[in-house]
Amino acid sequence: MANTFLMAERDRWPIWLAVALGTGAAGYFALPIEPPVAVGWAALVLGLGAAAVRIRWHLPLGLAAALLLGFGLAKLREDRVATPVLDHALVAHLTGRIVSLEPREQGVRVVLDEVRSGALPQPPRRIRVALRAGGAPTSEQKLRPGQWLSLTARLDTPPSPSEPGASDFGRRLYFQGIGAIGFAYGRARTIVPGRTPDAWERLAFKAEALRLDMTRRIQAGLPGSTGGIASALVTGARGTISEEDDAALRDAGLAHALSISGLHMALVGGGIFWLLRAVLAAVPAIVLRYPVKKWAAVMALAAAAFYLVISGVEAAAVRSFVMLATMMTAVLLDRPALTMRSLALAAILLLCLRPESVADPGFQMSFAAVAALIAVAERDQMRERAAPHGIAHRYLRGIVLTSLVASLATTPFTLFHFGRAAHYAVLGNLIVMPIIGFWIMPLAALAVMLMPLGLEGRVLPLLGEGIEIMVRLGAWVSGLPGAVSLAPAMPLSALVLMSLGGLWLAIWRTRWRWWGLAPIVAGVALAFAAPSPDMLVASDGATVALRGADGRLQFLRKPRDKYAARDWLRRDGDVRDIADAVGVPGLECDGLGCVVPGKDLVAASLKPEALLEDCARAQVMVSAASGACAGPAVVIDGAAAQDGQGWRVTLKPYPSAVSVRSYRGARPWVVRY
């Protein structure tokens, strides 16, 4: 029976190669230890060899080849971007060359390469440093990509997850070549370049300088958060967006409007394609003699490429460009522009270029949304067409259907990565998307076209009005009762099951596609049944949270690590502020520490002199100080807390603990103290 279904859907087999390629890359990131480079080359060679073999039953062999290729490409990508990672905080005087910079609300944030410092025997390939307001040579307006700076900065290790299973920003920075982050003391100075840039570097710096100039001109014409949103739409620089505006749009289901994604690429590339084709079609002498559709596709591709460059060539923009380029190439080859195969090809191209994208929330959510939309469109094409409706009806139906399908497809990823769901996303998109599509993006494109003439100031006020209306509508939607709900973090296994079930539903077209509901249901059940941590300890050893009798986390004392504390509450689906979650009923504290009486006695010591007494009676011992302690089932002193980068403690059926470091594994992006 399975063979019959497989043969009936033979044309869908190649789509699964993209899934297998991504699975192979994900398998590399899931390893507990770092494999040698030779293993990556071996997987690549074996994958290419298997792909070259021609046998009758080639689907299993093709999937195996794609798995090996994905694994090998991920390992070789890691080897290419490898950088030393700072293993402890320090203050250092250093010099470096500006690779990129982004204006912030208070100053500017720069990424430096060619770093040299006596305090860093093996400096990272790149470091990211925040220059506070007035910290640039004269002001941040004087900084340019390619300049060399001399400054004194406090550098720290890339951030580790707040608990096992949380977002790994350190890994994301590692694949950008960034091995340290920090902020500068005092004023930075420009210095004589350490070397002359090559031709490729000069081109990259000019592109980055163009992007920076456009960002500054937009924000000069539209100060504050409105300018930050405008620059985010055009150049991807969103450092000056206020937290209030960001939260309003996010909770209204409009977060995609603030990052250069498929929506923006489609509006730019698709808009140019439609406009140019319509103009050329109005001239009979041209449309009857030349392939105007292909001309429009080439111009749309060129416009999208320019948009990619001025957006900073970030991962999300690259992903969107690859998808649009695949569709426009299909037009040039007289193929259907948007099919499941073109989506699979876009995924394969992106995974070959940046295998680490498989772990990126943007990659997962955008491909899930587009795959679901294509699957629904394919189902509609197979049905009998109903009587045509007016343009307004079809447009509104398209927005509602698109928002609903995309929201359902991305909900598991939104809950896994962000722990929140916007329930009125369809409403938010229904009332805001016309403003974005017919007001904001056209005016943003017009402002860009007028910049060479210095006339963008005539358009920016109108653009600002559109953005302010969008924000107000987003705030209204996000303020409705029940607009947002938080959910406890789900395990990775639940997301994997739901993803595989969703892919099965979207890719296959015959009746057996409904088998995909089984892993989706299993994933949902696993998400609900996942146990919550009984206790969490941050890497400072002093920030400790214990689950109370009401099922909510409570901090034993005011936490020192505010980032970890906020992330714990968010991942627990808890809307409280940190101050409202301090204090555990029955907690006994003195100047030396705190004790939580009960069957599983928990002691949190502040000073070494409390260790001896607490070690003698506690089953779980946590201390910000370091010292020998024998007896308790779980002992986390200051050294263990730092070395483990934080801990997750389970009290039932017996006390046990898992560190963030052990969860992350022995990988190059994991700091070794």
144, pLDDT greater than 60? yes
The pLDDT tens digits of the residues spanning 577-590 come to: 888 888 777 676 76
Cα distance between residue 54 and residue 78, in whole Å = 31
The DSSP symbol for 145 reads T
In this structure, of 113-127, 198-212, 270-284, the range with the lowest mean pLDDT score is 270-284
CA-closest candidate to residue 350, choices 335, 338, 362, 363: 363
Least confident of 222-226, 340-344, 567-571: 340-344
151 plus 58 within the same structural domain: no
Nearest Cα residue to 361 out of 423, 420, 425: 420
Report in angstroms the alpha-carbon separations of 472 from 105, 243, 461, 481. Answer: 21, 14, 16, 16
> Where a domain ends, among 151, 173, 196?
196
Phi-psi map region of 464: left, alpha, beta (phi>0 left; psi -120 to 50 alpha) = alpha
Exposed/middle/buried for residue 225 (C-beta within 10 Å: 0-12, 13-18, 19+): buried
Residue 461, pLDDT > 90, answer yes
pLDDT tens track for 480-503: 888 888 888 899 999 999 999 999
In a domain, 337, yes or no: yes
Q: Could you tell me which residue, 398 or 591, shows the higher pLDDT?
A: 398
User: What's the total number of domains in the chain?
Assistant: 5
> Do the Cβ atoms of 113 and 81 come closer than 8 Å?
no
Least confident of 314-318, 456-460, 617-621: 314-318
Mean pLDDT over each residue of the chain, to the nearest integer: 84
Rg of the chain over Cα atoms, rounded to whole angstroms, equals 27
Is the separation of the CB atoms in 488 and 419 below 8 Å? Answer: yes
Using CA atoms, how far apart are residues 29 and 492, in angstroms rounded to an integer? 13
> Token pair of 544, please?
């400790």
- From 143, 176, 196, give the residue that closes a domain: 196
Query: Is 57 within the bounds of a domain?
Result: yes
Same-domain pairing of 588 and 651: yes
Query: Residue 471 falls within a domain, yes or no?
Result: yes
Query: Strand 148-156 relative to strand 126-131: parallel, antiparallel, unpaired?
Result: unpaired
| Structure tokens, 410 | 């991305």
201 assigned to some structural domain: no
Q: Are residues 497 and 480 in the same domain?
A: no
Please give the average per-residue pLDDT across 424-443, as a whole number: 86
Instruction: Please give the structure tokens belonging to residue 665.
Output: 């594994």
Let me know if residue 210 belongs to a domain.
no
pLDDT at 388 (0 to 100): 56
Asked whether residue 155 is domain-assigned, the answer is: yes
Single out the residue of 609, 654, 652 nearest to residue 633, CA to CA: 654
Most confident segment among 149-163, 407-421, 527-541: 149-163
Tell me: the pLDDT tens digits for 73-97? 999 999 999 999 998 889 999 999 9
Looking at the structure, tell me whether residues 477 and 367 fall in a common domain: yes
Residues 626 and 570 in one domain: yes
- The residue written with tokens 């009290």 in the block is 651
Q: How many beta carbons lie within 10 A of that of residue 324, not counting itself? A: 26
Whether 218 and 241 have beta carbons less than 8 Å apart is answered as: no
Could you tell me if 543 and 519 lie in one domain? no
How far apart CA 339 and CA 377 sit, in angstroms, is 9
Q: Are residues 525 and 413 in the same domain?
A: no
Q: Which residues pair with 240 in a beta bridge?
A: none
Q: Is residue 50 part of a domain?
A: yes
Structure tokens at 87: 């293993």
Instruction: Tell me if 670 is assigned to some domain.
Output: no
CA gap 632, 635 in Å, rounded: 6
If asked whether residues 505 and 477 sit together in one domain, one would say no
* Cα separation, 631 vs 613, whole angstroms: 11
Strand blocks (E) in 117-161: 126-131, 148-156
**pTM over the 0.85 mark:** yes
Confidence of residue 48 (pLDDT cuts 50, 70, 90): confident
User: Which residue segment(s) compose the domain that 68 sits in?
Assistant: 2-81
Residue 591: which pLDDT band, with cuts at 50, 70 and 90? low
- Of the ranges 230-244, 417-431, 496-510, 618-632, the best mean pLDDT one: 496-510
Where residue 123 sits, what CATH number does that domain have? 2.40.50
Same domain, 638 and 617: yes
Q: DSSP readout, 442-468?
A: HHHHHHHHHGGGT-GGGTHHHHHHHHH
Pairing of strands 484-486, 420-422: antiparallel
179, 172, 169: which is closest to 120 by C-alpha? Answer: 179
Residue 48: its H or E element: helix 37-52
Instruction: Write the CB contacts of 39 (distance below 8 Å, at least 6 apart in sequence).
Output: 75
Span of 45-49, 158-162, 360-364, 459-463 with lowest mean pLDDT: 45-49
Q: Please tell me the predicted confidence (pLDDT) of residue 472.
A: 93
Asked if 128 contacts 109 with a C-beta cutoff of 8 angstroms, the reply is yes
Claim to verify: residue 44 and residue 137 sit in the same structural domain:
no
Q: What is the pLDDT of residue 140?
A: 47
pLDDT at 242 over 70: yes
Q: What proportion of the chain, given as a percentage, has pLDDT over 90?
A: 28
Please tell me the predicted confidence (pLDDT) of residue 628.
66
pLDDT at 366 over 90: no
> Residue 155 pLDDT more than 90?
yes
Residues 322 and 396 in one domain: yes
Helices (H), 335-424: 340-353, 361-382, 391-418
Same domain membership, residue 435 and residue 288: yes
- The string of pLDDT tens digits covering residues 385-413 is 554 566 666 667 777 777 788 888 888 99
CB 600 within 8 A of CB 621: no
